[in-house]
Amino acid sequence: MNDDKLKILKAASDTFFTRGFYKIPVDDIASSLKMSKKTIYKYFPAKEDLVREVAYLFIKTHSENITGIINHNYNAVEKLFYIFKYLGNMLINVNEQWFSDIQSHAPEIWNEIEVFRSRFMTRNISGIIEQGKKEKYIVNYPSLIMINIFISCIRGIINPAFITNNKIPAFKALESTLDIVMNGILTAKGKNLLKNLKMEKT
């Protein structure tokens, strides 16, 4: 990727994730970079193009990082724990306004994010669940049901409406979701491991 384009994307990401994007003029991005708007429009003809590229970079970066956790030689409980922990840290660093603006003012981009994360979660969580069953960490419930519970939980928590309408911070809600879901699907052996992981975290 061109250096200038990458700089623009990084500056836009820093601004959008802190303040949202709907009320942010392109001038603010240009000013932070000491760059002309003309240069920004060379790579992003419209503000919507910049928002879309920022969203795609956001998806790419986080999916690659989560894939790294999945491909590590962790057991299934560790993988699920570290994925939830990663998502929680991500939510701490992204202002709620970003998610709200995406859903309200760029719904087609939000829909793309929804489709991507559903496919990503279905493909990867199913593998972790099967691994956990073999390791005797996860109870032998139907995998399809457990996968859909995970997807529904992630979709419900990392969701602009939930984030905007509830006073509980999204990352705290995600921690509670981890406890509720994991304690519902883990064996006694798995619950003990999760308890130890949470103790290491504190």
For position 161, what pLDDT does the model report? 74
Q: Alpha-carbon distance 47 to 129, whole Å?
A: 41
- Under the banding of pLDDT at 50, 70 and 90, the label for residue 69 is very high
CATH of 47-201, one of 1.10.357.10, 3.40.50.12280, 3.30.413.10, 2.40.37.20: 1.10.357.10
Query: Does the pLDDT of residue 133 top 90, yes or no?
Result: yes
> Which DSSP state fits 135?
T
For the four alpha carbons of 97, 103, 106 and 108, in that order, the dihedral sign comes to positive
Average pLDDT over every residue of 64-68: 94
Cα-Cα-Cα-Cα torsion 202, 78, 161, 99, nearest 10 degrees, comes to 90
For position 202, what pLDDT does the model report? 54
- pTM equals 0.86
Q: Which residues contact 159 (CB under 8 A, 6 or more apart)?
A: 99, 103
Q: Alpha-carbon distance 155 to 22, whole Å?
A: 23
Q: What are the extents of the domains in the chain?
A: 47-201
For position 33, what pLDDT does the model report? 94
Tens of pLDDT, residues 174-188: 888 888 999 899 999
For the four alpha carbons of 120, 122, 123 and 129, in that order, the dihedral sign comes to positive
Mean pLDDT of the chain: 89
Which segments within 11-145 are labelled E, that is strand? none
Average pLDDT over every residue of 49-69: 93
For position 25, what pLDDT does the model report? 94
- Under the banding of pLDDT at 50, 70 and 90, the label for residue 193 is very high
